[in-house]
Amino acid sequence: MSDLMLSIIAFVVVTLLFSVYSWRQKQKTWIGIVEDKKVKRTSDEDGFNHESYTVIFRAEDGKKIKLAVASQAGMDMFEMGKRYQKKTGSYTPEKMD
Residue-wise pLDDT tens for the chain (97 aa)?
788 999 999 999 999 898 887 776 666 789 999 999 999 999 888 888 999 999 999 999 999 999 999 999 999 999 999 999 999 888 889 999 7
Buried b (16+ CB within 10 A) or exposed e, 62-72: eeebebebeee
Q: Which of 60, 56, 86 is nearest to 68 (CA)?
A: 56
* pTM of the complete model: 0.71
- Which residue range(s) make up the domain with 58? 29-95
User: Is residue 12 included in any domain, yes or no?
Assistant: no
- Secondary structure class of 24 (helix, strand, coil): helix
User: Is residue 53 included in any domain, yes or no?
Assistant: yes
User: Is residue 37 included in any domain, yes or no?
Assistant: yes
What pLDDT is stored for residue 26 in this prediction? 66
Query: Are the C-beta atoms of 92 and 31 separated by less than 8 Å?
Result: no
Query: Are the C-beta atoms of 64 and 57 separated by less than 8 Å?
Result: yes
Domain count within the chain: 1
Which residues are paired to 95 by β-bridges? 84
CATH code for position 36: 2.40.50
